[in-house]
Structure 1
Amino acid sequence: MQVETTFLQEQLQQNFGYSSFRRGQAEIIRDILAGKNVLGILPTGSGKSICYQLPAKLLNGTTIVVSPLISLMIDQVKQLKAKQFKQVTAINSFMNREMRNSVLRKLHTYRLIYVSPELLQQQYVQGRLRNLKVSLFVIDEAHCISQWGHEFRPDYLKLQEVIMACKSPPVLALSATATPKVQEDIIYALGGKEFVKHIYPMDRPNIAFSVEQVENEDEKLVIMKRLFSQYRVPSLVYFSSRQAAEEVAQELASSLDLRIAVYHGGMEQQDRITIQQQFMNDQLDIICCTSAFGMGINKSNIHLVIHYHLTTQLEAYIQEIGRAGRDGEASVSLLLYSNKDIQLPKHIISRELPSKQELVFVFNKLKVLDDADKPLPIKEEEVVNCFDINEVQWRFIKYHLENHGIIKHNSIHFQQETWDHAFKQIYTYIEKRTMIKQAKLAEIIDWIYQQDCLRKHLYKGFQSSYQPPVFQCCSNCGFSWKDWQPQQTRRKGNTYSWQEQLKNKLLIGGANETT
């Protein structure tokens, strides 16, 4: 059906309080309401969520949203309920069994349901979805299909099966960073359907880029202490190591009169949610974090993003710097690096997928289990003890063994010819993926050493042109800290550091016992 823009604007105002659409939103929504499959690439901070939240209000049925992070789901559900959109829920592993079963029993009462790709693979969840009239199937942060699906979260590659189980409703795939190759990867993983593409430039003209070479870690700390002493603005510092994030957060907190927290995937979920909410409410100044933080965070006044370590690819770097300057104010991305920094991303790439020796060990162990008629290990610690690999590597291997018919319903099916073929196929795939990752790492290293404009070369793999900077450009084009004069933030009332917050939660009668 064709929908007039004036009608959509009225609905936008009525349901969400916005007077007008941002670039790309109305075009995407019209195609969704017309029943088309849509691939939308819009820059960070451009309001991608409205592209499915408004249709969820207008369509006659349920909208399913595949979301990568629990904290992102919880935050979006909270925001929607604050706007009086009550028929929304999130199904995630943070819920206890009783709460989850309660939500699943009344799924038909919701118009918008957030869920992770892993939970979508549970047969009971799929069974409940089959009973719904699904009007729209959304993959938010769709680059995760390409970026994580091949290794870290293979359940992203199974979404096509879930879509078919939902009677093949129209599909909306949304992302902020996707090269033409990644766009192809997304569409292929979703069954090769015909998609209408709405691709918009992702460059952010209000972010200046500074790359500074240092001798060692101590020099990085000196630079950060100087900057944070001079500029009190909401800031993110990205690390590739959890330990480094914790150590630097502690060092900064002991040296600066700022509220500083650490955030990474190894922390308890509730603690991560608490820290995220404190940052959103301006109760924290700086987050020292891994890539686990930031996706879907709609905080407009982040004005400084520092990379303490190199990312493994430009896509991740663009996603992380895109969390700055969403209010349009002058913001800075600073990347600090020393010559030895290249070793960490190389190590990360080498450990994401199993080595040939580890693959041989897993196959031999599976044969032993099959001969002894023993079941596959299920819990993470059982997998580690049995196969001597981490859970991420096991998920990758298990996904491919299921594709080859060697594992069915968590039981082993041994046939020598099938096993030999599967081993060769999996190892060839590992080699291919490793080469792709190494090439992506080479791209960001080339960018760091670029003598020409950093802005120009950062976006050239994603789009044919870029907008001229509205403030300063980059360190190759004369960027100066002296010319950056952001508005400083002030503390709001009595607040506690993240260490005090967590400590008090464990003390009977602590200051924040009820929070």
Structure 2
Amino acid sequence: MIKSNYENLEQALYEQFGFSAFREGQKDIIESVLSNQHTLATLPTGSGKSICYQLPAKLLDGVTVVVSPLISLMVDQVKLLKSQGFKRVTAINSLLSPQQKDNVLNKLGQYQLIYCSPEMLQQAHFIERLKQISVSLFVIDEAHCISQWGHEFRPDYLRLKYVIKDLNEPTVLALSATATPKIQDDIINYLDLDMDKIIYPMDRTNITYNVLESNHFVEKQEQLIDIIERVKAPTMIYFSSRQVTEQISSQLQRQFPELAIAYYHGGMEQQDRLLIQQQFMLGQLDIICCTSAFGMGINKEDVRLIIHYHLPNNIESFIQETGRAGRDGEHSVSVLLYTKGDEALPFQMIESELPDDHEIKSFLLQDVEGTLPEIKERFLKLQVDQTSIDSQDELIQEIIKNRNKRKEVKLKSVLELLEWVHTEQCRRQALFHPYQSEVRKSSYDCCDNCDFDIHNWHLHQNNKKNRTNDWQNILDELLPIGGRVT
């Protein structure tokens, strides 16, 4: 299956991508998949996971399919690869018109690398076209989504094992930066494959961790403004509420008119989200206020500061989001702002994501599809799809039991993060030690419990911005052109 016009992988890496050497872990992962071994691999955020499937896509005779969670991530990857001379790549998603999608599907076998969402892989026509070509490598990027999102947000992640079987079980590569041992087990169990595990440490030695506690939300806002005043560098501020995201963004725009500040969340139009993301990537924004919908796969090297205004729902999300800082290896800081009672919001979100007993019974007994929030309906449909129980009473009890298990997992995750917030030991050790045998020594200041005082940290990093661009031209560049193979 491997093309033989290269003497070694280093030569292939240099000729195809211009890199003179592999980063830690990349070569081991590539060698594993090229030997047709199903592989689960973890590398720290920002350590070049995409090369682990992009180079094999060049070397294998068949097609590489990459399951990606976000359209914006697919668009960025395709645009970057084409700019680097990798022309036989495409993304199939909802941005394509029906005609563009047909053009791509008609030429599917001419591509080396195809990005798509797990939902697209549930479309029978797409699967039939994939079955007609040779899929040699099936990649699940951000594979922790199988465990974290599969039950409620994206149940089609849990159906990927059937897609893999339909495609005659090509070699599978599951990649993640935040797959804890429990999530690793979940991924392997849900995919139902015999997988080699190549696990590298998740900790990033150039990131300093800091928690700032406050007595009320006014003090929290004052802390936020103080940090931004002293640290004028590319910054991402994470929120759990879309409304608060917009409110704080507007407040900061008034407070710092000299800075370019915008917000991003899942309730915005797709094209608006793509535009904001591109502005941030190009250095035309200093600060982005965002929900967890932003950042996955973002490869901006010079982000210096990650601030969590609200508590994330779990430690894995926290690690994933803080890992978007300092991808160039330079010193960067993670700040979590905590006010007593902040845990109420993630607890409320858990309740809103899972159906109560009445909703479960109504869904099954009355078939009231469309009346429940989409996330609850997805959970219930998945439960029904995965069971062979005929008795409705027994099915109701089974779903209630499964709902309770999910709730317990989610609540435990919030409590673990709260424990970390209040720890008096080294934050780096407390954050990563449960997930890896050794925690590496920090390259800079470690954390506020060890040697770091954020009030003494000043950083002013000038961004060269070009804010006079024609935004329509930028948007045109972002949107993929379907069916073009060069």
Aligned to 2:161: 160
CA distance 1:6–1:328, change in 2 (3 Å) = farther
Tell me by how many angstroms 1:419 deviates: 2.1
Structure with the bigger RCO (C-alpha within 8 Å, sep 6+) is 2
Pick from 364, 370, 384 the counterpart of residue 401 of structure 1: 384
Aligned to 1:346: 347
Tell me by how many angstroms 1:402 deviates: 2.2
Paired residues of 2:420 and 2:430 also in contact (CA < 8 A): yes
Aligned to 1:36: 37
Residue 204 (str. 1) matches residue 204 (str. 2)? yes
The alignment's TM-score, normalised by the length of structure 1, stands at: 0.89
One-letter amino acid of the structure 1 residue matched with residue 379 of structure 2: F
The answer for unaligned runs of 5 or more in structure 1 is 370-376, 378-382, 407-416, 506-510
Tell me by how many angstroms 1:354 deviates: 0.7
Paired residues of 1:89 and 1:112 also in contact (CA < 8 A): yes
Pick from 458, 465, 470 the counterpart of residue 438 of structure 2: 465
Cα deviation code 1:158-215 (max 9, x no counterpart): 0011001111011000000111111010011111x22111100111111111101112
Aligned to 1:53: 54
Runs of 4+ in structure 1 over 4 Å off: 1-6, 511-515
Paired residues of 1:5 and 1:26 also in contact (CA < 8 A): no
Aligned to 2:454: 481
Deviates more, 1:129-138 or 1:95-104: 95-104
Cα distance in 2 for partners of 1:514, 1:131 equals 32
Cα distance in 1 for partners of 2:10, 2:474 equals 43
Cα distance in 2 for partners of 1:62, 1:494 equals 39
Tell me by how many angstroms 1:490 deviates: 3.3
Tell me by how many angstroms 1:486 deviates: 3.7
Q: Identity of paired residues, percent?
A: 49
Deviates more, 1:265-274 or 1:3-12: 3-12
Tell me by how many angstroms 1:421 deviates: 2.3
Tell me by how many angstroms 1:79 deviates: 0.6
Equivalent residues, number: 475
Tell me by how many angstroms 1:405 deviates: 6.0
Tell me by how many angstroms 1:483 deviates: 4.8
Cα distance in 1 for partners of 2:216, 2:255 equals 19
Paired residues of 2:67 and 2:116 also in contact (CA < 8 A): yes
3-state SS of the aligned residue for 2:275?
Answer: helix
Aligned to 2:120: 119
Tell me by how many angstroms 1:221 deviates: 1.8
Cα deviation code 1:253-272 (max 9, x no counterpart): 01102100100011011110
Aligned to 2:131: 130
Residue 447 (str. 1) matches residue 448 (str. 2)? no
One-letter amino acid of the structure 1 residue matched with residue 262 of structure 2: A
Aligned to 1:247: 247
3-state SS of the aligned residue for 2:384?
Answer: helix
One-letter amino acid of the structure 1 residue matched with residue 314 of structure 2: Q
Aligned to 1:79: 80
CA distance 1:64–1:480, change in 2 (3 Å) = same
Aligned to 1:288: 289
3-state SS of the aligned residue for 1:297?
Answer: coil
Cα distance in 2 for partners of 1:183, 1:89 equals 29
Tell me by how many angstroms 1:482 deviates: 5.2
Tell me by how many angstroms 1:6 deviates: 6.3
Paired residues of 1:330 and 1:486 also in contact (CA < 8 A): no
Deviates more, 1:163-172 or 1:97-106: 97-106
The alignment's TM-score, normalised by the length of structure 2, stands at: 0.94
Cα deviation code 1:300-356 (max 9, x no counterpart): 000000000001110000000000011111111000011121110000111111111
Paired residues of 2:301 and 2:326 also in contact (CA < 8 A): yes
Cα distance in 2 for partners of 1:344, 1:51 equals 37
Cα distance in 1 for partners of 2:300, 2:98 equals 32
Aligned to 1:220: 220
Aligned to 1:391: 374
CA distance 1:453–1:219, change in 2 (3 Å) = same
Paired residues of 1:283 and 1:495 also in contact (CA < 8 A): no
One-letter amino acid of the structure 1 residue matched with residue 412 of structure 2: A
3-state SS of the aligned residue for 2:450?
Answer: coil
Tell me by how many angstroms 1:114 deviates: 0.4
Deviates more, 1:263-272 or 1:97-106: 97-106
Residue 322 (str. 1) matches residue 323 (str. 2)? yes
Aligned to 1:230: 230
The answer for unaligned runs of 5 or more in structure 2 is 478-486
One-letter amino acid of the structure 1 residue matched with residue 345 of structure 2: L
Cα distance in 2 for partners of 1:513, 1:358 equals 42
Tell me by how many angstroms 1:94 deviates: 2.1
3-state SS of the aligned residue for 1:104?
Answer: helix
Cα distance in 2 for partners of 1:512, 1:21 equals 32
Paired residues of 1:74 and 1:90 also in contact (CA < 8 A): yes
3-state SS of the aligned residue for 1:174?
Answer: strand
Tell me by how many angstroms 1:365 deviates: 2.1
Aligned to 1:373: none
